[in-house]
Amino acid sequence: MPRARHETKVWLGTLTAAVVATVLLQLAIWYVDDPSRVTSLEAWRFTAWRIAGIHGLVALAYWIWPKKAPADERDLTGAGKERAGR
């Protein structure tokens, strides 16, 4: 679960970046004040939230399907069977 907690913290940073980008883009849209010239700014606003959403799904996936420890680490903890030939 440490990986899931880490990914959640990183996703919160992405979410913060999306909020800041949205605020700055909205200010730029209001500054331009011409609907025919702000379509690219609106597209970037949508892109910021799309990226945050995809990153959120990746972080959620680490909670649903946690990453397993490598086989060597599981053997050291005693969870694995004793190795033959050692």
Please name which of 70, 55, 75, 49 lies closest in space to residue 9, comparing C-alpha atoms: 55
pLDDT digits (tens, 9 = 90+) for 21-65: 999 999 999 999 999 999 999 999 999 999 999 999 999 999 999
Q: What is the dihedral of CA 73, 75, 78, 80, to 10 degrees?
A: 130
This prediction has a pTM of 0.73
Residues 20 and 12: their CA atoms lie apart, in Å, by: 12
pLDDT at residue 67, as a whole number: 78
The pLDDT assigned to 85 comes to 59
Report the distance separating Cα 11 and Cα 47, nearest Å.
15
